Amino acid sequence: MLGKTVSHYLVTRELGVGGMGVVYEAQDTRLPRTVAVKFLPQEFAADHEAALGLLREAEAVALINHPNICTIYEIDHDGGASFIVMERLEGVSLQVHLARGRLQTKEIIDIALQVTEALAAAHAKGVVHRDIKPGNIFVSTDGLVKVMDFGLARRFMVPDTGQMVPDETVIPGRPLGTMNYMAPERILQMPLDPRSDLFSLGVVIYEMATNRRPFASVSPADTVTNVLEVDPPPLTRVAADRPTALGAVVQRLLAKRADDRYQSAMELRDALRSVEKPSRWSRLFRWSL
């Protein structure tokens, strides 16, 4: 693709490859801007279902206008290839960011809060991301966090009351996503539920705080068993310097039953803010110790 012009975008370099697409940097020849262009992987280029998935991603993100969600400019076709044109971000994925060194608690909470804001906006529009993981979270050079890759996103109903109604449809077969970050109900292919995104974010926060994945094992089967049946070591046992309140938030996020987790991203946001700004009495208690 390098050096080729697709529609009115001149492809200049490859930015990354994932299971859901290949992303290139490109120059818009009509407007003075640099963009990111996402194509299907070569093996799926002629796959009708994969092309529909790309369209669903564009439609899902088009519903949401939020600073913590990567903006999609358009979806187009050229020479039989479907592609999405997105804003070009400067920075790295959270996966790369974590590999650079241990994060301070303040930064962990800041990143978690920004992802939570993105999920609150998506869920309010009836969109479940279904693939929250460090590789799909982008940390810009200025500290702005963006949730990306809605390729597995699905819609659920939000009635006039504001109450979320899960989609009752289940697609038979192997669940799509990354097992290390997948909620139990996703693995079991239960009805679509936005609280599964909160579980996945809990895994990400645990990983940010401890530099280890809570359910990872030597085999995919063992990882699935851990997600479904095993409670990971408490966050503060693995990383004793992290706040007890942060450990409590993560423990609730990683509850096996969705009903035992925070029931909305907004509820989680409030809990994270309380970790970020502990009460006057808790500060006095720590000082007295």
Cα torsion 251, 253, 257, 259 to 10°: value is 120
**pLDDT tens by residue, 3-25:** 889 899 999 999 887 666 789 99
User: Residue 280's pLDDT is what?
Assistant: 44
pLDDT at 145 over 70: yes
Catalytic-role residue among 76, 78, 131, 197: 131
User: Residue 279's pLDDT is what?
Assistant: 47
pLDDT at 156 over 90: no
Please report the domains of the chain, with CATH numbers, ordered by start residue: 5-87 (3.30.200.20), 91-280 (1.10.510.10)
Distance CA 187, CA 215 (A): 13
Q: Tell me the residue type at 122.
A: A
Distance CA 93, CA 167 (A): 30
Q: Does residue 131 have an active-site annotation? A: yes
User: Residue 49's pLDDT is what?
Assistant: 63
With b for 16 or more beta-carbon neighbours within 10 A and e for fewer, the 232-261 pattern comes to beebbebbeebbebbbbbbbbbbbeebeeb
Q: Is 72 exposed, middle or buried (0-12, 13-18, 19+ CB in 10 A)?
A: buried
**pLDDT tens by residue, 191-244:** 889 999 999 999 999 999 999 999 999 999 999 999 999 999 999 999 999 999
User: Residue 244's pLDDT is what?
Assistant: 95
DSSP codes joined into one string, 139-181: EETTS-EEE---TT-EE-B--TT---B-------SSPPS-GGG
Pairing of strands 127-128, 9-18: unpaired
Which neighbouring-strand residues pair with 34? 27
User: Residue 133's pLDDT is what?
Assistant: 96
User: Residue 56's pLDDT is what?
Assistant: 78
Provide the percentage of residues in the chain whose pLDDT is more than 70.
83
**pLDDT tens by residue, 110-130:** 999 999 999 999 999 999 999
Mean pLDDT of 81-100: 91
pLDDT at 175 over 60: no
CA distances from 40 to 48, 51, 137 (A): 11, 7, 20
User: Residue 172's pLDDT is what?
Assistant: 46
Distance CA 220, CA 222 (A): 5
pLDDT at 98 over 80: yes
Distance CA 1, CA 227 (A): 39
pLDDT at 169 over 60: no
